[in-house]
Structure 1
Amino acid sequence: MTILGPKKLTAKGPIGLLAGWGRYPLLVAQALKDSGQRVCCLGIKDHADPVLADLCDDFQWTGIAKTGKQIRYFQRRGALHATMAGKLFKHRLLFHSGHWIRHLPDWHCVRKVVIPHFITRSKNCNDDDFMLTAVDMFADGGITFGPATDYAPELLVKPGSLTGIRLTEDQRQDVQFGWHVAKQMGQLDIGQTVAVKNRVVLAVEAIEGTDACIQRAGELSNHGKFALIKVAKPKQDMRFDVPTIGIGTIEALIAAGGRVLAVEAAKTIIIDEPQVAEIARKHGVTVVAIHGDDQGVCLEAA
Structure 2
Amino acid sequence: MSATLNARSHPTAVSMEPSGSRVVGLLAGSGRFPILFAEAARRQGLSVACVGIKGEAPEVLAELCDSFDVVPVTTPTRIIGAFKRRGARELVMAGKVHKTAMYTPFLFWHAISDPRAVRIWFYGALRRNKKDDTILLTVIDEFAKDGLSFRSALDFCPELLVNHGVLSRRRPSRSELDDIRFGWELAKEMGRLDVGQSVAVKDCAAIAVEAIEGTDRCIERAGQLCRSGGWSLVKVAKPQQDMRFDVPTIGISTIENLHKAGARVLAIEAGKTIVIDQPEVIALADRLGIALVALDGAEVEAPAA
- TM-score, normalising length from structure 2? 0.88
- How far residue 99 of structure 1 moved from its aligned partner, in angstroms, is 8.1
- How far residue 102 of structure 1 moved from its aligned partner, in angstroms, is 6.6
User: 1:167 is aligned with what amino acid?
Assistant: P
- Could you tell me which of 248, 252, 257 is aligned with 2:253? 248
**Partner of residue 130, structure 2:** 125
- How far residue 221 of structure 1 moved from its aligned partner, in angstroms, is 1.2
- Cα distance in 2 for partners of 1:108, 1:90 equals 19
Closer/same/farther in 2, CA of residues 300 and 64 from structure 1, 3 Å limit: farther
Is 2:94 the partner of 1:94?
A: no
- Cα distance in 2 for partners of 1:100, 1:165 equals 50
User: 2:116 is aligned with what amino acid?
Assistant: H
User: 2:70 is aligned with what amino acid?
Assistant: W
8 Å CA contact retained: 1:291, 1:300: no
8 Å CA contact retained: 1:13, 1:78: no
Structural RMSD (CA): 2.0
Closer/same/farther in 2, CA of residues 64 and 254 from structure 1, 3 Å limit: same
Cα displacement string for residues 125-171 of structure 1 (whole angstroms, at most 9, x for unaligned residues) = 11100000111111111111001111111100111111132221101
**Partner of residue 232, structure 1:** 237
Q: Which segment is superposed worse, 274-283 or 227-236?
A: 274-283
Is 2:165 the partner of 1:160?
A: yes
- Cα distance in 2 for partners of 1:169, 1:61 equals 49
**Partner of residue 301, structure 2:** 298
User: 2:52 is aligned with what amino acid?
Assistant: G
- TM-score, normalising length from structure 1? 0.89
8 Å CA contact retained: 2:21, 2:47: no
Over 6 Å off, 4+ runs: 98-104
Cα displacement string for residues 31-52 of structure 1 (whole angstroms, at most 9, x for unaligned residues) = 0001000000000001000111
* Runs of at least 5 residues in structure 2 that lack an aligned partner in the other structure: 1-19
Closer/same/farther in 2, CA of residues 104 and 263 from structure 1, 3 Å limit: farther
User: 1:298 is aligned with what amino acid?
Assistant: E
Q: How many residues align?
A: 285
- How far residue 299 of structure 1 moved from its aligned partner, in angstroms, is 5.0
8 Å CA contact retained: 2:53, 2:72: yes
3-state DSSP of counterpart to 1:259: strand
**Partner of residue 119, structure 2:** 111
Closer/same/farther in 2, CA of residues 138 and 88 from structure 1, 3 Å limit: same
Superposition pairs of residues 5-44 of structure 1, within 5 angstroms: 13-44=22-53
- How far residue 114 of structure 1 moved from its aligned partner, in angstroms, is 2.0
3-state DSSP of counterpart to 1:232: coil
User: 1:95 is aligned with what amino acid?
Assistant: Y
* Runs of at least 5 residues in structure 1 that lack an aligned partner in the other structure: 1-10
- Could you tell me which of 274, 284, 292 is aligned with 1:279? 284
Cα displacement string for residues 96-142 of structure 1 (whole angstroms, at most 9, x for unaligned residues) = 32888777661122123322333xx2x32111000001111111111
Q: Which segment is superposed worse, 96-105 or 187-196?
A: 96-105
- Could you tell me which of 60, 65, 75 is aligned with 1:56? 65
3-state DSSP of counterpart to 1:167: coil
Is 2:191 the partner of 1:186?
A: yes
**Partner of residue 68, structure 1:** 77
8 Å CA contact retained: 1:45, 1:102: no
- Cα distance in 2 for partners of 1:127, 1:32 equals 26
**Partner of residue 7, structure 2:** none
Closer/same/farther in 2, CA of residues 247 and 196 from structure 1, 3 Å limit: same
8 Å CA contact retained: 1:290, 1:298: no
- Cα distance in 2 for partners of 1:105, 1:189 equals 29
8 Å CA contact retained: 1:291, 1:299: no
8 Å CA contact retained: 1:22, 1:49: yes
